[in-house]
Amino acid sequence: MTKDLGKIETVISEKRIKLHIFEPSQRKIWTVVGKEKEYWIEPVLNFCSCESFYFNSIIGKNDCYHLQSFALAQKENKVEQIKFSDDEFSDFISGLVSDL
C-alpha cells in the first residue's frame, strides 16, 4: 500500500470518488476517476473495473488503489455525490461499459 499512498491521497483530496444517485429510484453507481479514465467500483463485491484489479486482486494480491481510496474516502466523508434523473441511467451505464 505504501507505493500507492500518494495516489490514494490524491484521489481523496481531489474528491475523485463519485456516488452517482439516480432519482427517483435511488439507484446508485460508484465510480472513481483514475489517471486515465473513470472506473466502476462495486464496494459490496470488492470489485473495480481497472486493470490492476484484474491482474492483481483476483490472484490474491492487495486491492487496487481505487478500492483503497474508496474505503478511505467513505471513512473521511470525502465522496462527491452527483444526482441524475432515472431517464439518464441507460446512457450513463452505456458510457461506463464502453470505457471497459
Q: For a pLDDT cut of 70, what percent of the chain falls above it?
A: 94
pTM comes to 0.84
* pLDDT-above-90 percentage for the chain: 61
Mean per-residue pLDDT, 47-63: 82
The dihedral formed by the CA atoms of 66, 42, 33 and 19, expressed in degrees to the nearest 10:
-130
- Model confidence at 60, pLDDT cuts 50, 70, 90, reads confident
Q: Do the bridges between strand 17-23 and strand 80-85 make them parallel or antiparallel, or are there none, so unpaired? A: parallel
